[in-house]
Amino acid sequence: MTRLASLVVSFSVLGMASCAWSADGLPSRSDCLVRVDFPKGFQDDQEVDGLAIASELGIPLAAYGARRGVLFLQFEEACEQRRAFTMKWMEEYMARSSWPAEWVVSDDRIAPGRDTIDVRGEAWRD
Nearest to 110 by CA among 19, 37, 26, 15: 37
Above 90 in pLDDT, residue 87? yes
- How many angstroms separate the CA atoms of 76 and 31, rounded? 10
Residue-wise pLDDT tens digits, 18-53: 333 355 899 999 999 999 999 887 777 778 899 999
- How many angstroms separate the CA atoms of 13 and 19, rounded? 10
**Range from 13-27, 42-56, 59-73 carrying the lowest mean pLDDT:** 13-27
The band of 7, judged by pLDDT with boundaries at 50, 70 and 90, is: very low
122 against 11, higher pLDDT: 122
Percentage above 70 pLDDT, the chain: 80
Write down the pLDDT at residue 101: 82
Write down the pLDDT at residue 22: 55
Percentage above 90 pLDDT, the chain: 65
| Alpha-helix runs per DSSP H in 31-121 | 50-57, 82-96
Nearest to 83 by CA among 63, 59, 67: 59
Q: Tell me which fold the domain 26-105 belongs to.
A: Alpha-Beta Plaits (3.30.70)
Q: Domain residues of the chain, as ranges?
A: 26-105
Residue 11, burial from CB neighbour count under 10 angstroms (0-12, 13-18, 19+): exposed
Write down the pLDDT at residue 107: 95
**13-17, 29-33, 67-71: range with highest mean pLDDT:** 29-33
Write down the pLDDT at residue 81: 98
Coil, helix or strand for 114?
A: coil
- How many angstroms separate the CA atoms of 97 and 67, rounded? 18
Mean pLDDT of the chain: 83
